[in-house]
Amino acid sequence: MNEPETNSVILENKPSVVRKVISEDTSEKVRYALESVVARGTGHNAYIGGYRVGGKTGTAQKAVNGSYLSGNYITSFIGFLPADDPKVVVYIAIDNAKGITQYGGTVAAPIAKNVLLSAIDILDIEQKDDAIEREYNYFDKQYASVPNVQGMTVKEALKELKKFKVEYSGSGDIIKYQSPKAGEMVYEGETIRLLLAES
C-alpha cells in the first residue's frame, strides 16, 4: 500500500507459504487437463493461437426458495495463461445472459479471452510452440500464423497470404511493412495490411 501524496510504501505484504495443497506432479496434470478443456472442449471460445490457455467453464441454474428457475443461469469461465507457468488468472461470471444460449463456454469464455489478450499485450507474454493444438469443428474459425512478406513483391506476397484478406496502402510493388507482424496468430480470413514502396 502506498501513501497517496508521496507515493511512499507504508505497507508491503509478502506472500508466505502456509502449506502445499497439491504436489507439483498433480498440479501439472490438472493444468494439462484444463488446457485440454480450452483446446478440445467446452472452453474452446477462449483459445488463443500460439499461447497455452487453461480454463474451465461453468453453467449453474439459479434457484429461489428451493426451486430452480426456468432459463435463468449464472454462466462462468475461469482461465489462466501460460498453462505451464501461469502469470494471469481471470474469472468471468454472467448472471442471466440475454439473447444467447446460456453456457459458460458460449457466454463467459469469449469475454475471458479478450481479457487474456489484453494481458498478453500488457505483460508482453511470449508465444510458445508447445501448446495443445486446437480441435476444430466444421463451423469454427481457424487460426493461422501470419507469414513474413516484407521485402516481397505484391505477387509473391499474395501467394503467401492466400488464407487472408489483403489491403494495400502506399505505392510501388515491394512490401515495406505489414500488420499484423509475421508470426502472429490470427483468424483465417482476417485482413493483413501491407504498406507498399518502390523497389
Q: Give the pLDDT score at 86.
A: 93
Q: Dihedral through CA 131, CA 137, CA 141, CA 142, nearest 10?
A: 40
C-alpha cell at 68: 430452480
With 0.75 as the threshold, say if the pTM is over it: no
Number of domains in the chain: 2
Question: Is the residue at 130 inside a domain?
Answer: no
User: What is the predicted pLDDT for the residue at 77?
Assistant: 97
Q: Which of 93, 123, 153 is the last residue of a domain?
A: 123
Look at residue 144 in the predicted model and tell me its pLDDT.
79
Output the tens digit of pLDDT for each of the chain's 199 residues: 677 788 888 888 888 888 888 999 999 999 999 999 999 889 989 999 889 999 999 999 999 998 998 889 999 999 999 999 999 999 999 999 887 778 898 899 999 999 999 999 999 998 887 778 777 666 666 777 889 999 999 999 999 999 899 998 988 889 999 998 888 878 788 899 999 988 7
Secondary structure (DSSP) of 21-88: -S-HHHHHHHHHHHHHHHHHSTTGGG--TTS--EEEEEEEEEEETTEEEEEEEEEEEEEEESTTS--E
| Domain harbouring 31, CATH code | 3.40.710.10
The domain of 161 spans 143-197
Give domain status of residue 3, yes or no: no
Task: Output the pLDDT for position 157.
Answer: 92
What distance in Å separates the CA atoms of residue 31 and residue 100, rounded to the nearest whole number? 29
Q: Which of 95, 123, 151 is the last residue of a domain?
A: 123
Contacts with 89 (C-beta within 8 Å, 6 or more apart), sequence order: 78, 79, 80
Q: Are residues 111 and 155 in the same domain?
A: no
- Nearest partner of 81 among 134, 133, 37, 125, judged by Cα: 125
Strands 67-81 and 88-95: antiparallel
Instruction: List the CATH number of the domain containing 193.
Output: 3.30.10.20
Query: What count of Cα atoms within 13 Å lies in the side-chain half-sphere of residue 141?
Result: 14
The verdict on residue 8 lying in a domain is: no
**Distance of alpha carbon 171 from alpha carbon 82, whole angstroms:** 41
pLDDT score for 139: 63
Angle at 48 between CA 130 and CA 122, to 5 degrees: 100
